[in-house]
Structure 1
Amino acid sequence: MALTEKQEVLVKESWEILQQNVPEYSIRFYQRIMEVAPEAKNLFSFLRDSDEIPQNNPNLQAHATKVFKLTCESVIQLRERGAVTIEDSTMKHLGSLHLKIGVTDRHFDVVRDALLRTIEGTVGEKWSKEMEGAWGTGYDQLAAAIQAAMKDGAAATAN
């Protein structure tokens, strides 16, 4: 699915805002995930042994940054190439990791919503249906690629 130049610009602008305070936005992101799916806490090694989302956790911040950045890059790739292209070894690793820890399709939906709501809360009045559509499409394509890698990994394990 091709995205417009304007959608790419909107995503890049919002990514610049997110980068200004990743620690704060990563906490918001994980709080939203835990509000909707408290059981997902056990999927994250850096949250498993805590009763609440730890402030200033470098692992949490690093993971949130990866999610935000990969989604942003996915939008840019959709604009430039018409598809999300991630190095095969990286995709296999992501698929294997998500499969190993028990991520389900529902978890991808929860993360999608948390991502969009976090960005919406971060950019405030700059939020628009077009920005939401661009981030959502980028995330959907990235999630589909990870899910495909998970299925390939499960099939390889079954054989």
Structure 2
Amino acid sequence: MGFTEKQEALVKESWKVMKQNIPEHSLRFFTLILEMAPAVKNMFPFLKDSDEIPQNNPKLKTHALIVFKMTCDSAIQLREKGQVVLRDVPLKHLGSVHLEKGVVDSHFEVVKEALLGTIKEAVGESWSDEMGGAWGEAYDQLAATIKTQMEEEAAQSQLSSN
């Protein structure tokens, strides 16, 4: 079963709420990630040299916005095209960056949990299991696509080094 019209509507509805306060939500998003997996801090150049999450770090806000928007766009593309298609960032680039940073499956799970937690807090009483399922599905599809790109990049680099 593909991504349904209802799932897309739930993602879009909650995205409208999230967009109203991206700085706050991005800070919450990264706070949750680092609470769950403190060691990943060093994967983000804009967090590397600080002991805590900087409140007004423009790079953190930009990165969180990219993740939120990419997941939302992914959901919309799942409905429209039946697959993950990104307009702003080439999937090959995402694969190589994630591979270079040493991202593993458990990192994707942490990001998913933080994403869903952030959205749940942001939308308050509008949250439902259905909404969580819609965002979860969109994120899972995006993560699977990035993982495939990572595998392709790893295979290509191995071929190049042989």
Q: TM-score range by the shorter chain?
A: over 0.9
TM-score by length of 2: 0.94
The residue identity in structure 1 corresponding to 2:10 is L
The residue identity in structure 2 corresponding to 1:121 is E
The residue identity in structure 2 corresponding to 1:71 is T
Show the 5 A alignment for 1:93-112: 93-112=93-112
| C-alpha displacement of 1:129 | 1.1
Identify the residue that residue 116 of structure 2 maps to in structure 1.
Answer: 116
SS in 1 for 2:50: coil
Instruction: Name the Cα RMSD after superposition.
Output: 1.1
| C-alpha displacement of 1:8 | 1.1
Q: Separation in 2 of the partners of 1:112 and 1:83?
A: 19
Q: Deviations over 1:110-143 (max 9, x none)?
A: 0000000000010011001111111000000000
The residue identity in structure 1 corresponding to 2:70 is L
Is the contact between residue 37 and residue 110 of structure 2 (CA under 8 Å) also seen in structure 1?
A: yes
Is the contact between residue 29 and residue 114 of structure 2 (CA under 8 Å) also seen in structure 1?
A: yes
Are positions 1:69 and 2:69 aligned together?
Answer: yes
Gaps spanning 5+ residues in structure 2: where? none
Identify the residue that residue 8 of structure 2 maps to in structure 1.
Answer: 8
Q: Separation in 2 of the partners of 1:60 and 1:102?
A: 19
Q: Deviations over 1:53-86 (max 9, x none)?
A: 0011110001000100010011111111221123
SS in 2 for 1:146: helix
Q: Separation in 1 of the partners of 2:71 and 2:105?
A: 17
Q: Separation in 2 of the partners of 1:36 and 1:114?
A: 8
The percentage of counterpart residues that share the same residue type is 59
Identify the residue that residue 49 of structure 1 maps to in structure 2.
Answer: 49
Gaps spanning 5+ residues in structure 1: where? none
Q: Separation in 2 of the partners of 1:145 and 1:102?
A: 16
| C-alpha displacement of 1:24 | 0.5
Q: Separation in 1 of the partners of 2:125 and 2:145?
A: 31
Q: Separation in 2 of the partners of 1:74 and 1:130?
A: 17
Q: Separation in 2 of the partners of 1:7 and 1:127?
A: 13
Identify the residue that residue 28 of structure 1 maps to in structure 2.
Answer: 28
The residue identity in structure 1 corresponding to 2:156 is A
Identify the residue that residue 17 of structure 2 maps to in structure 1.
Answer: 17
